[in-house]
Amino acid sequence: MSTSRHTIHFTINGKNCEVQAPPMKRLLDVLREDLHLTGTKEGCGEGECGSCSVRMNGELVNSCLVPVLQAEGADVQTVEGLASNGKLHPIQQAFLDCGGAQCGICTPGMLMAAAQLIERNPHPSMAEIREGLAGNLCRCTGFMRIFESVLAAATHAAESVPKKVHHAR
């Protein structure tokens, strides 16, 4: 038995797109194969490692567990959509500065989880950072540099919000 392809519309990193795919095709595979957005990685295929994390309608999701039909009409953001105007997103810059990425394979998913965390909670505690990233397994770093990156980005986010702070400069 086989099913026909459906036409599915959604926005990807702010742009409208249309794909023809079987409705059960995983969003992950649609991103990588149909849209050639290979930044999103597959590490386990069972929602354990978080390498395929993307944002869908403002929520962090594992794209390996989303049948593409459920993305109909959704707003999807991948790692390719983090930087803007050729400038790294603050979380990307912090990972670069603090050594948050080593082999790089968990990095796209980790960045999405970190960006989600900071957006929801601009001043996360260490416990909140640990919880926010617990679904993203990294085998290289032991997480310390990643935590530091998130703290640095959170500080940066706080600084970029206009506040009544005296600048010493």
Partner 1 sequence: MRGNAEAHELIAPGSLPAVLELLASAPGEWTPIAGGTELMVAFAAGRLGARKLVNLWGIPDLRFIETTADSIVIGACATFLDLRANSGLATELPLITRSASWIGSVANQSRATLGGNLVNGSPAADSSPALLVYDAEIEMVSQRGRRRIPYAEFHTAYKRNAMAADELLYAVHLPRRFAHHRQYLRKVGTRRAMAISKVAMAATALIQDDLVTEIRLAAASLAPFPARLYKTEAALLGQPATIKTIQAAQSALLDEVQPIDDIRSTAEYRRRVAANLIEEFLLEFSAEGAPR
Partner 2 sequence: MNTTAKTRIVGASVSRKEGADKLLGRARYVDDMERAGMLYGATVRSTIPRGLIRSIEFDRQIDWSEFTVVTAADIPGENHIQLIVADQPCLADGQVNHCDEAILLLAHTDKHKLREAVDAVRIEYDLLPPVFTIEESERQDQIVWGSDNLLKSFLLEKGNVDSVWESAAHIVEGEYRTGAQEHLYIENNGIIAEWSPESGVTVWGSLQCPYYVHKTLIKIFDLPDEKVRVVQTETGGAFGGKEDYPSTLASHAALLAMKSGHPVKMVYDRMEDLAATTKRHPSRTRHRTALDKDGKLLAMDIDLATDGGAYATLSSTVLSRATLHAPGPYSCPNVRVRAKSWATNTVPYGAFRGFGAPQAIFALERHMDEVATALGIDSVELRRRNFLHDGDTTATEQVMREPVIMDQLLDRALKESDYHAKRARFARENPSSAVKRGLGIAAFYHGSGFTGSGERILNSLAGVDVMPEGKVRVLVSNTEFGQGTNTVLTQIAAESIGIDYEDIIMAAADTGMVPNSGPTVASRTVMVVGRLIERAGLQLVVMLREQAGLGEKFTREEFFAACERLRAAKGEVASLVRYEAPPGIFWDDEKYRGEAYPSYAWSIHVAQVAVDTVTFSPEVEEFWAVQEVGRILNPVLATGQIEGGIAQGIGYALYEKVILQSGHMANNQMTNYIIPTAEDVPPIHVFFEEIPFRYGGYGAKGIGELPHDGPAPAIVNAIKDATGISFHAIPLLPEDLFAGLAAHQQIEEQATL
Shortest distance in whole angstroms from residue 98 CB to partner 2: 7
Of residues 47-86, which lie at the interface with partner 2 (CB under 8 A)? Answer: 48-49, 51, 78-80, 82-83
Task: Give the long-range contacts of residues 88-95, CB within 8 A, separation 24 or more.
Answer: 89/115, 90/153, 90/156, 90/157, 90/160, 91/115, 91/118, 91/149, 91/150, 91/153, 93/153, 93/156, 94/149, 94/150, 94/152, 94/153, 94/156, 95/146, 95/149
Contact 12, 27 (CB under 8 A): no
Shortest distance in whole angstroms from residue 159 CB to partner 2: 20
Say whether residue 92 binds partner 2 (CB under 8 A): yes
Based on CB atoms, which residue is closest to partner 1, 62 or 92?
A: 62
Shortest distance in whole angstroms from residue 156 CB to partner 1: 21
Of residues 91-150, which lie at the interface with partner 1 (CB under 8 A)? Answer: 113, 116-117, 130-132, 134-137
Based on CB atoms, which residue is closest to partner 2, 58 or 104?
A: 104
